């Protein structure tokens, strides 16, 4: 038998049963959802009143704890820390000496001598020379090799390679520091070593405590939190920003799980990538605009990368990959022994010479000036 509206009775019964079941579940879940909401609100209130999110965030920050006596907190908030001018450390198995300009020895006069090619080197601990003496770093070896070649060719010119490498610096920090030296030191060539990715570190002690509390902790903004905490990538960025801005409990949760996520090694920070690419791009544009070539370097520990690891539009002749296959295992270490660092300097010197980036001041006498390859603006 059919109803007047044509609906079969069995369909009407199924729909009524579904509606009744849904009503029962709503009746049951209502108190549960209300309790869950009340719990979230209570947790939020507790975290806000206790302020526990702030110390949790502080403990979640990434710290640099190597050769701390020759570092200091930077007045530049972007850098977080830097090499301390006129500092020295020789209590361990190697000697580190920082000159008056904040560069590791060998030191040089501020006024560039006539006929000298001034090369400024930036990067992380590989460029800095972690675990080796002042005279055994990549810049020191590069300077020695270039000057030896000039002497052999009886060329009336010389080379300086200033070492501004700083342990744990990301590409963004290294490029930013290089930008501040363009006007101050009148370089002819800038080299930036790439390796460290992810969030910018802060200066810590050997006991893994902050040397000084960063000003960002007083009033953390969203960009700081997106860089320093492992926000899930599957949550929309706008929702992430709202949660980080308005929920102390959410900030505390992300800070609490940061060590676990970092240990797993699957943390990819989009905000960090954007910071590093932006600073590298700006340095390339500003340097090339002054006629100063900016060359980015990948170390063998990265096992071969391409220029787009720096930023997508980087010209190929502004990138040198030091990786070579078939070498001894310590060639691929992040902190290799002095002999391997000297080999890096040899490969780098050959690459710079082949590309004409040492110009008329090169011992071979080829070229009239360092060539400039202006990177496209973006």
- Work out how many domains the chain is built from and give that number: 2
218 located within any domain: no
- Statement: residue 369 has pLDDT above 50: no
143 and 29 co-located in one domain: no
Q: Does residue 114 belong to any structural domain of this protein?
A: yes
- In eight-state DSSP terms, residue 144 is H
Across the chain, mean pLDDT equals 88
pLDDT bracket for residue 84 (50, 70, 90): very high
User: Based on the domain organization, do 24 and 101 belong to the same domain?
Assistant: no
Has residue 340 been placed in a domain? Answer: yes
Does the N-terminal peptide bond of residue 106 adopt cis geometry, omega within 30 degrees of 0?
A: yes
Q: Predicted confidence band at 365 (pLDDT cuts at 50, 70, 90)?
A: very low
The per-residue pLDDT for 27 is: 61
Whether residue 163 sits in one domain with residue 113: yes
How far is residue 268's CA from residue 251's CA, in Å, rounded to a whole number? 18
Q: What percent of the chain has pLDDT over 90?
A: 71
Q: Is the pLDDT of residue 376 over 50?
A: no
Residue 239 included in any domain? no
User: What values do phi and psi take at 104, rounded to 5?
Assistant: -75, 145
Distance CA 370, CA 107 (A): 23
Q: Both 71 and 45 in a single domain?
A: no
Q: Is residue 251 part of a domain?
A: no
Per-residue pLDDT tens over the stretch 191-234: 999 999 999 999 999 899 999 999 988 888 999 999 999 988 88
**306 and 336 in one domain?**
yes
What is the distance between the alpha carbons of residues 289 and 292, in angstroms, rounded to a whole number? 7
Q: How many CB atoms lie within 10 A of CB 38?
A: 10
Does position 92 have pLDDT exceeding 90, yes or no? no
The domain in which residue 30 lies consists of 9-50
Examine the domain organization and report whether 44 and 131 are in the same domain: no
- Residue 327 in any domain: the answer is yes
Same domain, 68 and 27: no
pLDDT band at 378 (very low <50, low <70, confident <90, very high): very low
> Do 304 and 274 share a structural domain?
yes
Work out the percent of the chain whose per-residue pLDDT is above 70: 84
Instruction: Assess whether pLDDT exceeds 50 at residue 342.
Output: yes
| Mean pLDDT to the nearest integer, 91-104 | 92
| Pair 43, 71 in one domain | no
Q: Report, as an integer, the average pLDDT of 102-124.
A: 96
Q: What is the mean pLDDT of residues 61-78?
A: 96
Among 274, 276, 273, 284, residue whose Cα is nearest residue 377:
284
If asked whether residues 159 and 308 sit together in one domain, one would say yes
Burial pattern 233-250, b for ≥16 Cβ within 10 A else e, equals eeeeeeebeebbeebbbb
Q: Tens digit of pLDDT for each residue in 23-40?
A: 665 666 566 666 666 776
**Are residues 133 and 30 part of one domain?**
no
Decide: 375 and 285 in contact? Cβ < 8 Å.
yes
Residues whose CB is less than 8 angstroms from the CB of residue 171 and which lie 6 or more positions away in sequence, other chains included: 192, 194, 196, 197, 276, 277, 279, 280, 296, 310
Measured between its terminal Cα atoms, the distance across the chain in Å is 73
Name the band, by pLDDT with cuts 50, 70 and 90, for residue 13. low
> Which of 25-29, 217-221, 296-300, 318-322 has the lowest average pLDDT?
25-29
Domain annotation covers residue 69: yes
Whether the pLDDT of residue 244 is over 70: the answer is yes
Residues 139, 101 share a domain: yes
CATH code of the domain in which 349 resides: 3.40.50.1110
- Burial class of residue 2, CB neighbours in 10 A (0-12, 13-18, 19+): exposed
Give a yes or no: residue 244 inside a domain. Answer: no
**Which range (47-61, 166-180, 281-295, 316-330) has the least confidence?**
47-61
User: Average pLDDT, stretch 4-24?
Assistant: 57
Q: Identify the residue with better confidence: 60 or 363.
A: 60
């Amino acid at each position: 038998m059919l109803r007047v509206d044509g609906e079969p009775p069995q369909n009407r019964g199924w729909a009524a049963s579904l509606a009744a079941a849904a009503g029962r579940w709503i009746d049951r879940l209502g108190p549960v959802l209300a309790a869950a909401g009340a719990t979230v609100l209570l947790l939020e209130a507790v975290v806000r009143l206790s302020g526990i999110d702030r110390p949790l965030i502080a403990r979640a920050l990434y710290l640099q704890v190597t050769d701390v006596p020759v570092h200091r907190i930077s007045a530049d908030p972007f850098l977080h820390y830097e090499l301390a001018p006129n500092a020295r450390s020789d209590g361990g198995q190697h000697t580190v000496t920082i000159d008056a300009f904040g560069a590791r020895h060998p030191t040089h006069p501020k006024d560039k001598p006539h006929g000298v090619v001034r090369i400024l080197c930036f990067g992380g601990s590989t460029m800095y020379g972690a675990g080796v003496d002042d005279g055994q770093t990549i810049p020191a070896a590069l300077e020695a090799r270039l000057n030896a070649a000039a002497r052999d060719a009886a060329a009336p010119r010389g080379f300086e390679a200033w070492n501004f490498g700083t342990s744990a610096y990301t590409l963004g920090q290294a490029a930013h520091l290089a930008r501040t030296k363009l006007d101050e030191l009148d370089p002819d060539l800038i080299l930036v070593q790439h390796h460290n990715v992810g969030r910018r570190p802060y200066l810590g002690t050997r006991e893994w405590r902050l040397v000084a509390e960063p000003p960002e902790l007083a009033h953390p903004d969203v960009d700081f939190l997106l860089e320093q905490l492992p926000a899930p990538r599957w949550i929309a960025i706008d929702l992430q920003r709202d949660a980080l801005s308005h929920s102390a409990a959410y900030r505390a949760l992300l800070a609490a799980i940061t060590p676990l996520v970092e240990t797993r090694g699957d943390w990819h920070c989009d905000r960090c990538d954007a910071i590093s690419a932006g600073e590298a791009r700006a340095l390339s544009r500003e340097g090339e605009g002054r006629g100063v070539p900016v060359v980015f370097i990948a170390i063998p520990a990265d096992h071969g990368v391409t220029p787009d690891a720096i930023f997508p539009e980087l010209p190929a002749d502004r990138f040198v990959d030091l990786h070579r296959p078939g070498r001894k295992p310590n060639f691929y270490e992040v902190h290799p022994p002095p002999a391997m660092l000297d080999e890096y300097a040899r490969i780098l010197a050959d690459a710079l010479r082949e590309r004409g980036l040492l110009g008329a001041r090169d011992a071979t006498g080829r070229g009239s000036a360092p060539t400039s390859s202006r990177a496209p603006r973006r």
